Amino acid sequence: MKPTAAALFLALALLSACNRNEKAAPAARSEQAATEVANAAAPEATPPANGDQAEPPRASLPEPKGPIDPKSAEAAGQVVQHYGALVEQDRFLPAERLWNDIDAARSFAVALDARFKDVHLEIGELGATEGAAGSIYTTVPVTFYGTSERGRPLHMPAAVILRRVNDVPGSTERQRRWHIERIEWKAVA
């Protein structure tokens, strides 16, 4: 009888240990899932420009302190940031809605697609606003960068010109929001 009691005790102990691991496994799985989510959310490193040395970290626009006035240059900067995020995700249809002229947006998207295999947008310092004939304009310097269709690093500076109509009678809400008027390529020095 002694060996049977010992075997029974050993079997219960093993079952108890297995049960404890099953309870711990979901916690371990959820911790692993949290780690995977955090890793997926982490930004990817920028590939080296010349293949040897990594590029310096890119500066980002300062975070706003409180609500942004929709008529301000900061609001125009947000339009450019939104456009850049959509282009980086190859979401050109929603990106073209940020333009005043859909045909100009599509032409620019075709030009980007012809030059870049993958594209990103670095945004420079926000420009001052200027008034002209019932509208407000601002220019935001940007650099489109990424990999060319030939697999080489590519950096192309440009100026994003944004416009909004002043609050004049007869203007629509859409006209009174910042939108991309055009993007001009700059000469590479």
Q: Where are the beta strands (DSSP E) in 40-152?
A: 116-123, 130-132, 135-148
- The reported pLDDT for the residue numbered 2 is 52
Write down the pTM of the prediction. 0.65
Are the C-beta atoms of 132 and 116 separated by less than 8 Å?
Answer: no
In this predicted structure, the answer to whether residue 180 has a pLDDT above a threshold of 70 is yes
Asked whether the predicted pLDDT for residue 179 surpasses 80, the reply is: yes
Q: Which has more pLDDT, 45 or 147?
A: 147
* Dist CA 122 CA 141 (whole Å): 9
Per-residue pLDDT at 142: 97
Give me the pLDDT at residue 63, please.
Answer: 59
Average pLDDT of the residues of the chain: 76
- pLDDT surpasses 50 at 80: yes
Which pLDDT belongs to residue 116? Answer: 94
Would you say residue 133 has pLDDT above 70?
yes
Q: Look at residue 105 in the predicted model and tell me its pLDDT.
A: 96
Q: How much of the chain exceeds pLDDT 90, in percent?
A: 57
How is the chain split among helix, strand and coil, in percent rounded to 5?
A: 40, 25, 35
- Of all residues in the chain, the percent with pLDDT exceeding 70 is 65
Higher pLDDT, 17 or 106: 106
CB 77, CB 123: distance < 8 Å:
yes
* 168/80 Cα distance (integer angstroms): 24
Q: How far apart are CA 28 and CA 4, in angstroms?
A: 36
CB 148 within 8 A of CB 117: yes
